[in-house]
Amino acid sequence: MDNYSFTPDTQMQSYPYTDDPKLDILRHEAQLVIQDVRDFSLPDDLVISVVNSASDFFGQPHPYIINADGTWEMANDTSTFNDDIIGFSRQQMMEMGIYGQDALSLVMTHECCHRALQNIGNIDPWEHELACDYFAGVRAAMQHIDSSNFENVLINTQGGEHHPVGSLRVDFVEHGKQMAQELIGDGIQPTFENCLELFNKHLSEECQTIQLHREAVIDMQSHIQKTDSDQLSFTGKYSGSEINKLKSDVETLEYELNYKNSDVGHHQRCVDLVDTPNGHKNGEYDYEVKQLNKAISDCDYTASRLKDAQERLNNAL
């Protein structure tokens, strides 16, 4: 985890002024309209530039970016940053209300922080997410990125097995901002290491709060499951929020399946690479085949859970 430094970011250029004030006003208005369309539609060049600048922030090589059903990060081989993939779903971002360069930059800072943490094994999923939110806050403070839209979107996200509740996440974004500001105020350059240390400190201070949120989420999930089965056995009817929950289960599993399918592809390529006389001799081939089979069975398991979730949803509609 050494050798990280935070590097400065680039900003969008605006039109240079002319000698004619009326023309300047017109050009300014035109620019606002163009900016608004750009902020709303999140064009490819913007996506690529924010992913790359988020990677630069962590001192990482630029990743592959693909259009996907969700926005996510895939580490592949966790000992290197060179094969990382960022999946981007414009539709998901627009539906969540991510608007403009600042909010998208913080989303991608979150995703690139997953890259930065890829070689730390066995982090609790909630803590992993909170670290990524925290570092989005650190960057927001260091590079004067407006975090209001990002936080407004986060606060409305529901907690689950893998993601903490929105209020906790915003709390960690704010804490990241505060820590970076304090370091800078004390004349200390924020680095990945000193910020991570302050994150771990905050995590241990907040462990009880986090635990309470976790229990509340588990409670809510078991309540929904119970209500689902009650509703099924007695009336066969579901409320709107229960149907939304079933839909979101399907979406989450579709996303997971997409991810696991890519994982199978990755392991297939690994097997092909060592399918050589030497690879067979030194055992690499057998090892990679085992990894591939594991990825396939993971993928099959997700596919069967998705099928179940789709059936539950179909029954409810």
Only one of the segments 23-31, 61-69, 127-135, 273-281 lies at the binding site for Zn ion (rule: CB under 5 A); that segment is 127-135
CB of 144 to Zn ion, least distance (A): 23
- Within 10 angstroms of residue 309's Cβ, the number of other Cβ atoms is 19
Complex with Zn ion: residue 172 or 192, whichever CB lies closer: 172
Complex with Zn ion: residue 165 or 292, whichever CB lies closer: 165
Q: What are the beta bridge partners of residue 64?
A: 85
Q: How far apart are CA 242 and CA 316, in angstroms?
A: 9
Complex with Zn ion: residue 119 or 276, whichever CB lies closer: 119
Complex with Zn ion: residue 199 or 238, whichever CB lies closer: 199
Complex with Zn ion: residue 129 or 228, whichever CB lies closer: 129
CB of 132 to Zn ion, least distance (A): 5
CB of 128 to Zn ion, least distance (A): 7
Site for Zn ion in 73-92 (CB under 5 A): none
Count of residues in contact with Zn ion, rule CB under 5 A: 1
Complex with Zn ion: residue 129 or 151, whichever CB lies closer: 129
Complex with Zn ion: residue 129 or 249, whichever CB lies closer: 129
CB of 224 to Zn ion, least distance (A): 23
Only one of the segments 122-130, 181-189, 200-208, 254-262 lies at the binding site for Zn ion (rule: CB under 5 A); that segment is 122-130
Only one of the segments 121-129, 228-236, 248-256, 260-268 lies at the binding site for Zn ion (rule: CB under 5 A); that segment is 121-129
Only one of the segments 129-137, 139-147, 174-182, 295-303 lies at the binding site for Zn ion (rule: CB under 5 A); that segment is 129-137
CB of 82 to Zn ion, least distance (A): 21
Q: How far apart are CA 202 and CA 207, in angstroms?
A: 8
Only one of the segments 79-87, 124-132, 280-288, 298-306 lies at the binding site for Zn ion (rule: CB under 5 A); that segment is 124-132
Complex with Zn ion: residue 154 or 257, whichever CB lies closer: 154
Site for Zn ion in 39-78 (CB under 5 A): none
DSSP for the chain, written as a single string: --S----PPP----PPP-S-HHHHHHHHHHHHHHHHHHHHH--HHHHHHHHHHHHHHTT-PPPEEEE-SS-EEE-SSTT-STT-EEEE-HHHHHHHT--HHHHHHHHHHHHHHHHHTTTS-S--HHHHHHHHHHHHHHHHHHTT---HHHHHHHHTPPP-SSS--HHHHHHHHHHHHHHHHHHHHTT----HHHHHHHHHHHHHHTHHHHHHHHHHHHHHHHHHHHHHHHHHHHT----HHHHHHHHHHHHHHHHHHHHHHHHHHHHHHHHHHT-SHHHHHTTHHHHHHHHHHHHHHHHHHHHHHHHHHHHHHHHH-
CB of 114 to Zn ion, least distance (A): 6
CB of 40 to Zn ion, least distance (A): 24
CB of 119 to Zn ion, least distance (A): 16
Only one of the segments 61-69, 128-136, 191-199, 224-232 lies at the binding site for Zn ion (rule: CB under 5 A); that segment is 128-136
The region, left, alpha or beta by phi > 0 then psi within -120 to 50, assigned to residue 54 is alpha
Chain centre to alpha carbon of residue 298: 21
Give contact residues for Zn ion (rule: CB under 5 A).
129
